[in-house]
Chains A and B, each alone.
Chain A
């Protein structure tokens, strides 16, 4: 049973560029959430997708956007990258009626 898979694992961008990160949820899960984790910090909630719609959003600017596809996979897009966007981006999946989040290994974004 494949767990949550994310790609790419590492990437380097420059300020002002745009990035797309991808996530496939754990088998049987229909809800995908994205988190940003800065070094030494806990994960911070970005947004959650269910039934191809953004259901909840944390305190992140509109530069952060996402999408969920019919097969439940998801993308996180960040426009106009800033140095402060450098972080580990985590995707977590869950079944809508359960609480446990299952995380992928993350995508490490470095903005130069």
Chain B
């Protein structure tokens, strides 16, 4: 059964950094892109960014609200993706989800998701 498990969330002060991890199971991680999505309290889903697989260049794309502060990376040998969050703001408080990101017929969809990890930015 395909699974994704996020970890690394917690309480962090504004301006500090935090790194989340996403461990994947039961699929060949190297074959897929991986994306991060967040949900602030009482709000809807917001796309954070994604990392392509190595075959597609391993490059990244980010949403406007996190571009320049967040960095997504991957370690295919370990089956883990990372979300490095810097210069954190109170409005970054959210549950962060990782999801397998499939490219099919010119579109991308998120076919398996993790349960999320909570990040709280507060002094």
Please indicate whether A and B come from the same complex rather than being unrelated chains.
no
Residues of A at the B interface (CB closer than 8 Å) are none
